[in-house]
Amino acid sequence: MKIHDIGGEFALIDRLARQSPAIHPDLVAGIGDDAAVIAGSFPDGDYLLVTTDMLVETTHFRRDWATPAQIGIKSVACNVSDIVAMGGTPTFMFVSLALATDTEVAWVETLYQGMAEACRRYGVVLAGGDTTHAEAATISITLLGRVSPENLRLRSHARPGEMLCVTGPLGGSAAGLAMLAAGLDPPPYLREKHLAPACRLDVSPAIAPLARAMIDISDGLAAEVNHICDQSGTGAEIIVADIPIHPAVREAARLTGNDPIELALSGGEDFELLFSISPENKQLLEQKGVPATAVGWVTEAASARILTAPDGTRRPLSGGYNHFRFTL
């Protein structure tokens, strides 16, 4: 039996998690969220957040498309986004590199310059790591953070009747990738969204106290909604007409023969936030001037997960990035 036979990345994670259940009195949340949450770590009662992410050459980046600095920025941003999705603040970072022996030193130094730039942007301290040899360049980052218990946002917090909102346009990274793969030069907006993305630490401190469930959009809107529903035991309805799509994404979709909605639903690496929030708190968020677009609702579990098209037709909400079926 192969990994693709059981359903891919997330099915594999579920099987492995069942083999080694994470049970400890200080473990507030483990496998199944954007970061692990550990109590008893700070005198003021804050929780420790721990996340790890790996970028592998030809799976997450290509040297002929991205500069080493851009790769460094992306590697940090995708980890910070996980801490942000928990309602937390990033603190210390540890980097492990696997590199071919003929790798140019200048390439590695510029990679770290990109990491340093992103660390300064997000207030992260690079505190250590490891290096080893491999045929494909691999960047593995472990990032620590902290969050107050009242601001902790888990995927399991959503409740029926809450709105599902996103913090910005979706599909930009996937559209940039589609243009690069087609041999086209993406416009600056799409190039940056794919090669050197930013995460939403700028708005998460305002959102976390008002939201319920929260997750970052790294695998596409459809996958993230389903993750929230799985953990919360709910259903959801997503309204196609309400999904924010940047004009550059629509043009890229036209040029590459893609559907812009599918880029948003399944493309991934947008690193915007998806969160559930009561209608009352959504109004409070608007009063704070925080941009957030409602794309649907949390429903009862029996309502399933539904995507409603502009013509009123409804279909199951499916899709999402799968690391075991895709390479650049």
Do residues 244 and 224 share a domain?
Answer: yes
| Per-residue model confidence as pLDDT tens digits over 51-91 | 999 999 988 899 999 999 999 999 999 999 999 999 999 99
Count of domains for the chain: 2
Q: Which residue has the tokens 């507030």?
A: 28
Which of 54, 17, 37 is closest to 218 using CA atoms?
Answer: 54
DSSP 181-228: HTT----HHHHHHHHS----TTTHHHHTTT-SSEEE-SS-HHHHHHHH
Report the CATH number that the domain containing residue 205 is assigned in CATH: 3.90.650.10
Q: Where are the beta strands (DSSP E) in the chain?
A: 27-29, 36-38, 47-56, 89-99, 125-133, 138-147, 163-166, 214-216, 235-239, 273-277, 293-299, 305-308, 314-316
> Over 90: is that where the pLDDT of 183 sits?
yes
Q: Which residues are 311's β-sheet partners? A: none
* Model confidence band, residue 6 (pLDDT cutoffs 50, 70, 90): low
Domain end (from 109, 129, 150) = 150
Same domain (yes/no): 132, 280: no
Question: Could you tell me the pTM of the whole model?
Answer: 0.91
My answer on whether 133 and 167 are in the same domain is: no
